[in-house]
């Protein structure tokens, strides 16, 4: 996999938001788009653990790609199925995930009660159509804090 270089994006790519990650000191989360894709990128400070190497000088990268047309659907699920009260149309308590196919890519969004940290609720987005490393699919986790307080959801809506 070839990672995006946020300092030198390919033509047609645009950084929608850049957020200091509250859960990993020194890490940055980006939402980047092009004509067809939404790309979530997390740059984490590289720590030499005796295996692997830096993906970018000083950083390890996690990149996650979904079809751009799936963003309004994700926003709708987060706001209307996960965040609302049951009386406002929230999903039933036993429904923890939703899935749909966009441009041939199988996307799922799942409520995650311990998202990057114990007792920190959030979501995990899975793209079953794009492999990552040895896995047959790719995932990206986003705490509600990042969506609400760091304005990532607002940025997703602006696309």
Each domain of the chain, given as residue ranges in start order, spans 14-158
Whether 1 shows a pLDDT value over 70: the answer reads no
User: How far apart are alpha carbons 31 and 146 in whole angstroms?
Assistant: 12
User: How far apart are alpha carbons 42 and 63 in whole angstroms?
Assistant: 7
First vs last C-alpha separation in the chain: 25
Reported as type and span, the H/E element at residue 145 is helix 144-148
Class of domain 14-158: alpha beta
Closest listed residue to residue 16, CA positions, set 1, 46, 37: 37
In DSSP notation, 77-134 reads IIIIIIIS-GGGTPPPTT--EEEEEETTEEEEEEEESSSSSTT--EEEEEETTS-BTT
pLDDT value for 154: 97
pLDDT value for 55: 73
**pLDDT for 15-44, tens place per residue?**
999 999 877 778 899 999 999 999 999 988
Report DSSP state, residue 2: P
Mean of the pLDDT values across residues 91-111? 94
Q: What is the mean pLDDT of the chain?
A: 90
Reported as type and span, the H/E element at residue 152 is helix 152-158
Mean of the pLDDT values across residues 92-100? 91
pLDDT value for 53: 66
pLDDT value for 128: 97
């Amino acid at each position: 996999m070839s990672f995006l270089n946020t300092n030198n994006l390919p033509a047609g790519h645009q950084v929608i938001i850049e957020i200091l990650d509250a859960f990993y000191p020194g890490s940055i989360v980006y939402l980047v788009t092009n004509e067809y894709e939404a790309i979530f990128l997390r740059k984490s400070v590289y720590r030499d653990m005796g295996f692997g190497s830096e993906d970018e000088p000083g950083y390890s990268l996690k990149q996650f790609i979904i079809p751009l047309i799936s963003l309004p659907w994700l926003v709708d699920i987060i706001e209307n199925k996960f965040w609302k009260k049951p009386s406002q149309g929230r999903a039933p308590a036993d429904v923890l995930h939703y899935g749909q196919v966009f441009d041939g890519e199988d996307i799922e969004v799942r409520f995650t009660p311990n998202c990057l940290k114990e007792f920190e609720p959030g979501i995990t987005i899975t793209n079953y159509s794009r492999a990552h490393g040895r896995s047959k699919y790719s995932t990206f986790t986003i705490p509600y804090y990042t969506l609400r307080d760091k304005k990532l959801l607002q940025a997703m809506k602006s696309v």
